[in-house]
Amino acid sequence: MKHQTKLLTLALTSASALSAPVFAADGGTSPVQDRRIGYVMTSEYKAIWDTPDGKAECPQGINNGPREEFKILYPDDKKWTILESQLERESEVWFPKLTAQPKLPYYESVAKTSFGIDLNDKVDDNDYTDPDGNKGIDNQTQRAWGCTANYRSTSYNLGAFNNWRKYSYNIIVIELTDVDDLINDPDVTLTTYRGMDKPMTDATGATYLSGGTQRVDMRFGKSFIQKFKGKIVDGVLTTEGADYTMPSAGNGSSVADVRYYGARWRLALTPDRAQGILGGYMDINDWNAAANQGRSTHHQAYGQAATPSIYRAMIKNADYADPKTGAMIGISTAFKVGLTQVFVTHPDMAVSANTAAPATATSISRD
């Protein structure tokens, strides 16, 4: 019995030594353990810069929505059949024409400022400057979406979309490895996963608490696993580009994942939180599928989001070319993201991750 007790004591001592927490400079316990720290995404908003009255970026006004466009196309002075009106328009939603639509004017944002990241390491004439003065910002969805009510800061839908991130399918976890210092570290790796646990909140459900646990899905979530090489300077993590598929589900049921080519992260780190920008070239057809599967035309009308017109504007402003075909398939975009620290739990059985070399982002000027 004494021998078993000694073995148990030795085992517990060894386990404690292997997982012993790192102590912070102030004497507190650091969540960086074994040179790793994890975060779960708890907020995500489309990063569109706008002004309260919209006059600076949208001097011609805000774009029409599905209902307004329907009235223009099918005025009341004629009797229309369901086939030549409702069904015709719904077909256009799913298979939008790229030809000009003179009856349906669409206004692009003329802002010179936008949130985002420099995705191609150069400054072009059509790039933006962010509110902090950084130049070369790639975010052409600013131009394509900036005058659509659905994506502006006053839209109710921004909050609704953010809530969708809490669905079980949508939980995004990042884990930083090879971390020696959260303030300055020249070489770290950020790996994305799909989490399997609801983020931990306080009793009100309104505040996300650090210190929770996230099991990562290494089986059905393999397509969401991607590695990004990065560095931390003055507490800000920046990564190199890599292709990333973001899990996306709407209304708790429909699933339409979206690919982002050459995605990059820029996050201000603390032991409890991470906050910043996720940018990348969004696959336009993926966006169209996700938008329409996630929300019907009726619900798109709440944000005056006429997807056929938006799709044409995105194609017009596309700035990412398929490396194989040269076809313009992506548009630069950015998300404001907030994350809360978690302890990441990996399954015992090793499952291969998505380690294929990412395609190189190719930004082509539309000037």
Domain range summary for the chain, segments of one domain joined by +: 30-345
Confidence of residue 155 (pLDDT cuts 50, 70, 90): confident
Q: What pLDDT does residue 362 have?
A: 40
- Tell me the CA distances in angstroms from 106 to 102, 162, 318, 365, one per residue in order: 9, 26, 16, 21
Q: What pLDDT does residue 254 have?
A: 65
Predicted confidence (pLDDT) at residue 353 exceeds the cutoff of 60: no
Name residue 64's amino acid.
Answer: N
What mean pLDDT, rounded, does the chain reach? 86
CA 184 – CA 15 distance, rounded (Å): 29
Please state, for a pLDDT cut of 90, what percent of the chain lies above it.
Answer: 70
Of the chain, the end-to-end C-alpha distance in Å amounts to 81
Q: What pLDDT does residue 45 have?
A: 87
Q: Check: CB of residue 207 under 8 Å from CB of residue 33.
A: no
- Identify the residue whose tokens are 């148990």: 8
> What is the token pair recorded at 187?
């070489």
CB atoms within 10 A of CB 77: 5
Range with the poorest average pLDDT among 28-42, 78-92, 169-183: 28-42
Averaged pLDDT, 306-326? 96
Range with the poorest average pLDDT among 86-90, 244-248, 253-257, 268-272: 253-257
